[in-house]
Amino acid sequence: MTGRVVIVTGASQGIGRATAEAFARAGDAVVATSRQVPTDGASHSEGLGVIVTMALDVTVDSSVASLVERVEARYGRIDVLVNNAGRGFSGSTGELQLEAIQESLDINFLGAVRMTKAVLPGMRRAQHGRIIAVSSIGGVIGQPFNDAYCSAKFALEGLFESLHPVAAQFGIGVSLVEPGPVASAHRGLAARAVSDDEKMEVLMSSHRARSERSFASAQRPEEVAATILAVAESEDPALRYQTSDYSRRMVGVKLHDVTGSQVTTMTAGWISGAWDDRVRNQ
């Protein structure tokens, strides 16, 4: 199935850009959005399709409404929405400012809510559509010092899991794509909290070092984009898709852990010993 009208949010880099290019190569008309675009409304051919850049801030209701109106006016319909816009937030709850947690929810969760609500009426009328959200293994497993990001992605997972059976009644597929570490500039743009507690700083430093090691073998954005394209082309899309063996293993741990003890034992191991090592070396 080609010739779709596709919106990709957060398409200036990383997964979003790779996804826009993948759909265009498949012959689709892709509206690639971001908060800052070089030339709003500019277009260029990519493979068999075309990519049109449009400005969008998913945290602003009027920006979302305007974008969807422009796309529907230009093409007459929206076939696929890829909710990809997001930002990382690093820090534990005690160190994070409340404003940072609110910002994470606004970008990583409510941004997808706004976009989903905006495209649903047209998809319901057409009795067809695909809505895909780029989640994360952090949307399934809570991770130390990723409190704000994980809470927003958990909310996204709950929303889509609830919406999935209802949307299906209207011919709309609703799916989550769950990558593990991905090599992109997204990680470098994460907001980081600081602490005046020495032990907390040691734990956070240990966490950052572990994260750097995990990203040494990170997936390429193009691999995630390939999964997203396959989901959009599925006749009967499932709710969840992992993008690598690593993410499948991690999600599998959570879905089989009814008490949470296996997950928390695992994640405690990611930071345990860091403070004891510091004390011994003083």
Catalytic residues: 149
- Cα 19 to chain centroid, rounded: 12
As a whole number of angstroms, the distance between CA 122 and CA 126 comes to 6
Do the Cβ atoms of 215 and 187 come closer than 8 Å? yes
Amino acid sitting at position 48: L
210 Cβ neighbours under 8 A, 6+ residues apart: 270, 271
d(CA 165, CA 174): 8
Residue 17's Cβ-side half-sphere holds a number of Cα atoms within 13 Å equal to 10
Distance, CA of 198 to chain centre: 32
Q: Residues 132, 175: contact at Cβ < 8 Å?
A: yes
Burial letters 29-68, b for 16+ CB under 10 A, else e: bbbbbbeebeeeeeeeebeebebbbbbbbbbeeebbeebb
- How many Å from the N-terminal Cα to the C-terminal Cα in the chain? 64
